[in-house]
Amino acid sequence: MRVENDMTNETWGRVREILREEVGQNNYRNWIEPLEFAELEAGVATFLVPTNFMGNWVERNFGDKILRRMIELGEKVSRLVFVVAETGRAKPAAAKAANGAAPAAARARAESEELPGAPLDPRFTFDSFVVGKPNQLAHAAARRVAEGGPVTFNPLFLYGGVGLGKTHLMHAIAWEIQARNPELRVVYLSAEQFMYRFVQALREKQMMDFKHLFRSVDVLMVDDVQFIAGKDSTQEEFFHTFNALVDQNKQIIISADRAPGEIKDLEDRIKSRLQSGLVVDLHPTDYELRLGILQTKVARYREQYPDLVIADGVLEFLAHRISTNVRVLEGALMRLFAFASLVGQEITLEKAQDALSDILRASDRKVTVEEIQRKVAEHYNIRMSDMIGPKRQRSIARPRQVAMYLAKTMTTRSLPDIGRRFGGRDHTTVMHGVRRIDELKVGDTQLAEDLEMLRRSLEE
Ligand SMILES: Nc1ncnc2c1ncn2[C@@H]1O[C@H](COP(=O)(O)OP(=O)(O)OP(=O)(O)O)[C@@H](O)[C@H]1O
């Protein structure tokens, strides 16, 4: 037994190192590092965790990964068990959590109480949320709710496509409320977790406890509520919880991937309840917001790694080329950071394109140069033949440059290739055109708007 445990301790050390790479530094610090390996007996590996919630969370989110890696390293393990450590043994996750972005009191509280919620991500605060046109309203509403005061919007319903910041905003609200009012019981969880807890309570005949727990919170936040569509008894319970809390004037915040009315298989009475407060959506990101997010993240990263050098134009290129989903954008940036730290060199546009070729391909909208030319010609009311013809007067040349610019930023075509498609022009002419538009758009808001509008309609 002793020998086996020593071996496993060593394996666990190696598994942790692999997971550090796999799940990222923040996840690692929050969830993996605080785990304490206890023993491996009869195929069951036991870990000590600071709280039940943490155990559940790790099991659900990282259990498979841990198990797989242990097996790969030769351990005879078939199951993981997470046991709450006696006080003072394992350290609470949040006390060691990432960059200190979240208020310390709130962190301590979130960990210390057995509320029925999921842990909050310390990175998701208002501080780290970049505001732009597409998310302005959602952000303002979230701020208002987080500031407390009389409950005016109930529920606050946030919706939007994948990776646009719904979860981030919800966590930010939770952190802020807890920082302002540490005595409030704020519970954040996904609709899936709500169902999981509900089913567990049913199975273990603890419905009274379940009801009591959920009705005793001050702020309830349920993420991805579309998940309960079609799940009748969970919907029913959710409806009752919702009503009980609203009756007590407790704040409810809900998110989903679409507007309440568009969630299929959701009971009408729930739809109408969800619509009864404030419904705001997070629009797909635009170029400016994407660039803002990239710049903010690079600035943060540089605080830790001042040696990072990213050439001019790289972030602009990414903001142009990567889809509206912020998660993909972040993934690309993380890859660049990793790349930079490995090769220790400046990240040029070329290197970025190289390192991110798969991501760029995946988010390639496959717009053709010809489509761009047509769209631009239509927009500026010039003929296609003029777009590729020799005329040089400004009323023709400027739209042509706009089209060249869009061709360069929206397709993977090289400059000579683009030149060929513009009536056999030289690549330096294309380069000049692209640069000219790049310069002009800074001071010329009309041009900037035209570009955005054209891009959007080409992306559709
Ligand atoms: N405006 C923003 N500023 C900074 N980071 C952002 C912003 N919007 C999104 N992000 C980041 O993008 C990632 C995805 O965001 P989040 O998980 O909140 O998306 P979501 O809308 O909940 O997506 P899903 O529908 O997949 O649940 C997160 O890491 C988040 O921090």
Task: Please write the tens of the pLDDT for every residue from 286-297.
Answer: 889 999 999 999
In a domain, 128, yes or no: no
Say how many Å lie between the CA of residue 283 and the centre of ligand 1: 12
Determine the pLDDT at residue 95.
30
- Determine if ligand 1 sits within 6 Å of the CB of residue 173: no
Binding residues: 163, 165-167
pLDDT at position 236 is 93
Domain that holds residue 90: 2-113
Is residue 126 a part of any domain in this protein?
Answer: no
165 CA closest ligand 1 atom index: 18
Say if ligand 1 is within 6 A of residue 257 CB: yes
Taken as a whole, the chain contains a residue count of 460
33, exposed or middle or buried, with CB in 10 Å at 0-12, 13-18, 19+? middle
120 occurs within a structural domain: no
Going by alpha carbons, the residue nearest to atom 7 of ligand 1 is 165
Does ligand 1 come within 6 angstroms of the Cβ of 327? Answer: yes
Based on the domain organization, do 209 and 164 belong to the same domain? yes
Instruction: State the CB neighbour count (10 A cutoff) for residue 42.
Output: 8
Positions at the binding site for ATP: 163, 165-167
Q: What is the CATH number of the domain that holds 30?
A: 3.30.300.180
The answer to whether position 124 is within a domain reads no
Answer whether 293 contacts ligand 1 (Cβ < 6 A): yes
80 within domain boundaries:
yes
CATH number, domain with residue 157? 3.40.50.300
Q: Are residues 347 and 378 in the same domain?
A: no
Asked whether residue 204 is assigned to any structural domain, the reply reads yes
Q: Which of 23, 167, 193, 291 to mutate for ligand 1's pocket (most ligand atoms within 8 Å of CB)?
A: 167
72, amino acid identity: E
Tell me, rounded to whole angstroms, the distance of Cα 220 from its chain centroid: 21
Domain end residue (candidates: 281, 313, 337) = 281
Gap from CA of 163 to ligand 1 centroid (Å): 5
Ligand 1 atom with least separation from CA of 292: 3
The predicted pLDDT at position 304 comes to 79
Q: How far is 172 from 102, CA to CA, in rounded Å?
A: 9
Question: Would the CB of 433 count as within 6 Å of ligand 1?
Answer: no
d(CA 216, CA 419): 67
The answer to whether residues 78 and 187 belong to one domain is: no
Identify the CATH number of the domain in which residue 301 sits: 1.10.8.60
In this structure, the answer to whether residues 33 and 156 fall within a common structural domain is: no
Looking at the 3D structure of the chain, how many domains does it have? 4
Alpha-carbon span 225 to 263, nearest angstrom:
9
pLDDT in tens, 129-182: 999 999 999 999 999 999 987 777 899 999 998 889 999 999 999 999 988 988
Among residues 252, 281, 310, which one ends one of the domains? 281
Residue 396 alpha carbon to ligand 1 centre in Å: 41
- Find out whether the beta carbon of 167 lies less than 6 Å from any atom of ligand 1: yes
- The residues near 118 (Cβ < 8 Å, ≥ 6 apart) are 53, 57, 188, 189, 190, 193
Pocket flag, ligand 1, residue 24 (CB < 6 Å): no
Q: Are residues 165 and 29 in the same domain?
A: no
Instruction: Give the separation between CA 280 and CA 9, rounded to whole angstroms.
Output: 49
How close is the Cα of 378 to the center of ligand 1, in Å? Answer: 36
In the three-class reduction of DSSP (H, G, I as helix; E, B as strand; rest coil), residue 267 is classed as coil
Q: Let me know whether 346 and 277 are in one domain.
A: no
Write out the chain's pLDDT in tens, 460 residues: 445 566 678 889 999 999 988 887 777 887 898 899 988 888 888 998 877 777 877 888 888 889 888 888 888 888 899 888 764 333 333 333 333 344 444 444 444 445 677 788 888 999 999 999 999 999 999 999 999 877 778 999 999 988 899 999 999 999 999 889 888 999 999 999 999 889 999 998 889 888 988 988 999 999 999 999 999 999 999 999 999 999 999 999 999 999 999 898 899 999 999 999 999 999 888 889 999 999 999 998 888 788 888 999 999 999 988 876 898 899 899 888 888 877 777 889 988 988 888 888 776 657 889 989 999 999 999 999 999 999 999 999 999 999 999 999 888 889 999 999 999 999 999 999 999 999 998 889 899 989 988 987 887 6
**Contact yes or no for 223/189 (Cβ under 8 A):** yes
Identify the residue whose C-alpha is closest to ligand 1 atom 25: 162
CB 211 within 8 A of CB 238: no
Domain boundary among 243, 258, 281: 281
User: Three-class SS of residue 345?
Assistant: coil
pLDDT value of residue 115: 63
Other beta carbons within 10 Å of 137: 15
- Which amino acid residue places its CA nearest to atom 8 of ligand 1? 165
Contact partners, residue 226, CB within 8 Å, separation at least 6: 191, 256, 257, 258, 263, 266
pLDDT at 364: 62
Distance 401 CA to ligand 1 centre (A): 35
Residue 264 forms part of a structural domain? yes
Query: What is the rounded distance in angstroms from the CA atom of residue 63 to the CA atom of residue 59?
Result: 4
Q: What is the pLDDT of residue 92?
A: 32
Q: Are residues 332 and 437 in the same domain?
A: no
Structure-block tokens of residue 262: 């568009």
**267, 304: one domain:** no
Are 260 and 389 within one domain? no
C-beta of residue 321 within 8 angstroms of C-beta of residue 458: no
Same domain, 260 and 357: no
CA distances from 105 to 110, 116, 146, 364 (A): 9, 19, 16, 44
Same domain, 429 and 315: no
Q: Percent of the chain beyond pLDDT 70? A: 91
The finding on whether 415 has its CB within 6 A of some atom of ligand 1 is no
- Quote the pLDDT of residue 42: 81
Domain match, 337 and 316 both: yes
Is the full-model pTM beyond 0.90? no
Ligand 1 lined by 126 (C-beta under 6 Å) = no
Q: Whose CA is nearest to atom 31 of ligand 1?
A: 168
CA distance 38 to 35: 9
Residues 421/415, Cβ–Cβ less than 8 Å: no
| Interface predicted TM-score (ipTM) of this complex, two decimals | 0.98
* 400 class by beta-carbon count within 10 Å (0-12 exposed, 13-18 middle, 19+ buried): buried
Q: Residue with the nearest Cα to atom 15 of ligand 1?
A: 165
322 C-alpha to ligand 1 centroid (Å): 15
The answer to the question of residue 277 being in a domain is: yes
